Amino acid sequence: MEDHDTGAGAPAVGVSRAPPPSGQASPSVGRPDRQAGARPGHPDHQGEQQKGKARKRRKRRRGRKVFARDDNHAIVAAPSAAATGAPPQETTATPLPSASQARPELRRPPLQELPVFAALDLGTNNCRLLVAVPTRHGQFRVIDAFSRIVRLGEGLTANGRLGQAAMDRAVEALKICGDKLRGRKIRKARLIATEACRTAANGVEFLDRVEHEAGLKLEIIDRQTEARLAVSGCGSLVERDTQGVVLFDIGGGSSEIALIDLTGHRSPRLANHIVSWTSLPVGVVSLAERFGGRTVSRQIFAAMVEDVAVRLHAFDGRDRLSHVLASPKFHLLGTSGTVTTLAGVHLDLERYDRRRVDGLWMDRDSVDRMVEKLVGWDFQQRVANPCIGADRADLVLAGCAILEAIRAVWPSERLRVADRGLREGILSELMADDGVWRNNGRSR
């Protein structure tokens, strides 16, 4: 998936300090004036008042430090939770009960005692890592994240091989990921590579180099697995009464599309409802390299759309949701830098903000206007937009062309934007398979 990434998504949960247990002596017990009970107005009493205020100020400062530290750890709704049909999980900060308030059977283990899981995704354009711990059922807290555009697939379309400079960039990013993983006690991790390593003649050779230099052993996943993980990663954005979804992940070297039929009984995992899927061997990097990404006329843009449309019309399973296409309970769900960029431009953000973009609904007219706006901008105008920038300015129109071809096959009045995907899907599946939510998040 070619996407934006900040490593944080939802509000942090505050930490409240517990008062001393009933009957426990306070730190001031044992002072003669306390034992005697100094009178109001007495000098000893005034001194104690001043010291008491100072203690309260110190406690408040300590509390703010704890919250600031904790605020870096985002709560993320794990995709498989809402796949059960439950309402979306909390999106506002909720203080945890203090140790003295919580019932013993509901007390959660401290953050440092929770099992740690990790997911790494090396794509054609990006290298991304998430490290998280499970929290309440169906959620996890991100405790570390890393994202870097490495353009591993640069030149792959023309040469069929990964270039030396591209491999060097990817290895340097993966070394950082390796250091982060080795610095923690990881319960389970899954490290994947996608289209660039799947198709490159030297893909396996490159991963041998990664294992030797970065100390990470990556697996090349097939396209069906990639499509399933994308669905697992976005499950919490599919609401209870939805009847059908076309979920698409526009990547750097390939685009995965999954048709999801929810007219029957909902199972706990959204991926179980995939009735058809395809993986197009075209993404923003490969399409931009073939047609050009810097200078894109309307004719070139139309040619890109047609190129993708021909591939989609060869997809035999494209009609599997024909019975729900006209329903208001059908929609598109996009997870990629293309749709998050459109959303950021639509919101006129001064800088990209994942919290405002992830889960955003856009209607058909809004998507039309944003695509038209981007097609009308020249390269420098795209660079100047804070939600595009230099890293994506030559790729965003290729992504829009793929999006337009998808919208033509599955027209919908609504598009939901997801700034999440493969890594969240991996974490959700790892935690569910490990049973951490059944055990209230405790290590076994």
- At residue 30, does pLDDT exceed 70? no
Q: Where are the alpha helices (DSSP H) in 359-421?
A: 364-376, 379-384, 389-392, 396-409
Q: Is the confidence at residue 184, as pLDDT, over 60?
A: yes
Q: Are 344 and 358 in contact (CB under 8 A)?
A: no
**Could you tell me the pLDDT band of residue 275, with boundaries at 50, 70 and 90?**
very high
* Contact call for residues 236 and 89 (beta carbons, < 8 A): yes
Q: Which residues contact 201 (CB under 8 A, 6 or more apart)?
A: 160, 161
Whether 228 is covered by a domain: the verdict is: no
Tens-place pLDDT, residues 186-230: 999 999 999 999 999 999 999 999 999 999 999 999 999 999 999
In a domain, 52, yes or no: no
How much is the pLDDT for 265? 86
Residue 18 within a domain: no
The pLDDT score that the predictor gives to residue 33 is: 39
Q: Is 44 exposed, middle or buried (0-12, 13-18, 19+ CB in 10 A)?
A: middle
Rg for the chain, CA atoms, rounded: 26
Residues 247 and 107 in one domain: no
pLDDT (mean) for 323-352: 95
Calculate mean pLDDT across residues 361-369.
98
CATH of the domain at 316: 3.30.420.150
216 and 126, same structural domain?
yes
With 50 as the cut, is the pLDDT of residue 19 above it? no
Residue 270 has pLDDT above 60, yes or no: yes
Q: What is the reported pLDDT for 20?
A: 35
Residue 428 pLDDT exceeds 70: yes
> What is the CATH number for 129?
3.30.420.40
Write down the pLDDT at residue 56.
56
* Residue 255 pLDDT exceeds 50: yes
Nearest Cα neighbor of 403 from 323, 351, 314, 335 is 335
Same domain, 407 and 429: no
Question: Does the pLDDT of residue 61 top 90, yes or no?
Answer: no
User: 49 falls in which pLDDT band (50, 70, 90)?
Assistant: low
Q: Structurally, how many domains does the chain consist of?
A: 2
Give yes or no: residues 248 and 203 share one domain.
no
Tell me if 151 is assigned to some domain: yes
Provide the residue type at 259 as one letter.
L
Rounded to two decimals, what is the model's pTM? 0.74
Q: Indicate whether 288 pLDDT > 50.
A: yes
Residues 172 and 299 in one domain: no
Please tell me whether residues 210 and 258 are part of one structural domain.
no
Give percent above pLDDT 70 in the chain: 73
Q: Which residue has better confidence, 120 or 51?
A: 120
280 with 386, same domain: the answer is yes
Q: Is residue 214 domain-shared with residue 256, that is, in the same domain?
A: no
Residue 259 and residue 192 in one domain: no
Residue 10 lies in a domain: no
- Strand order across the 116-122 sheet: 74-77, 139-149, 126-134, 116-122, 186-193, 219-220
Q: In what order do the strands lie in the sheet with 255-261?
A: 274-280, 255-261, 244-250, 330-335, 414-418, 361-363
Q: Are residues 248 and 327 in the same domain?
A: yes
Q: Look at residue 3 and tell me if it is in a domain.
A: no
Which of 90-104, 261-275, 290-304, 323-337 is least confident? 90-104
Q: Closest Cα to residue 15, out of 82, 55, 61, 71?
A: 71
Amino acid at 398: A
Range of the structural domain that residue 133 is part of: 77-84+93-223+425-434
Which spans in 235-333 are helix H? 284-291, 298-313
Residues 259 and 216 in one domain: no
- The verdict on residue 45 lying in a domain is no
Residues 263 and 338 in one domain: yes
